[in-house]
Structure formats: structure tokens, C-alpha cells
Amino acid sequence: QVQLVESGGGLVQAGDSLRLSCAASGRTFSSYALGWFRQAPGKEREFVARISWSVGMPYYADSVKGRFTISRDNDKNTVYLQMNSLKPEDTAVYYCASRTHSGVYDYWGQGTQVTVSS
């Protein structure tokens, strides 16, 4: 059974940093990419970043480029999202999800809340 467990969310002030973690199990993740998404109240879920397990190539949404960094630890089956220079508009529930070769995100974590106060 595939499981994705996020952690690291919290309440911070604008300009602060947070690091989210996503611990993955139940799949040979070296063959899959893993992405981060977020959903703010009243808004649709949006893509934040993704990284492949094998090559480690990162992709970012324009809204977080230069502020967020996605990375992974293959030995720990864990993907991280380092978030710097946080803004109130980054407030959302952050989810990690596993991406198949066809581009479908088929497994999701339960989410972790990030709140950035101004």
C-alpha cells in the first residue's frame, strides 16, 4: 500500500522559512516523480513543484521560483520542500503526491497546513 505522509507545516511570519517533508512508502519510488501541491481556502488545488526520483530534475510553479526548493533523499524515500521568503499568499494546505510515468498523480498525502501571517 502506497503511503505519503507530510510534515513540517506551521504558523510563521512573512519572510520566514519552513521545510516540509513527505515520507513515502509502498512503492519503488526510484521510478516515479513526486510533486507538491497546495490548496488555499476557496481556491483550487495548484501545482507547486515536482522532482523525479532518478534524475532529480526539479520543476516549479512561477509563483514559487527562486523561493522554494524541492529535493529528495533516496535512502530515506523522502522529498522535501524548502520554503523561503514566505508570503501570506503562500498560506494553504500543502500536499505531496506520487506521479506516474503518464503524468497522473495517483496517490496523495493527507496534507499539512502552512499559515503565513503578515
- Ranges of residues in the chain with a pLDDT under 50 are none
pLDDT at 30: 66
Give the span between the Cα atoms of 51 and 30, in whole angstroms: 11
pLDDT at 92: 98
Give the span between the Cα atoms of 47 and 45, in whole angstroms: 7
pLDDT at 52: 85
Residues 9-30 pLDDT 10s: 999 999 999 999 999 988 776 6
The values of phi and psi at residue 101, to 5°, are -65, -25
pLDDT at 45: 97
What number of H helices and E strands is found in the chain? Answer: 0, 11
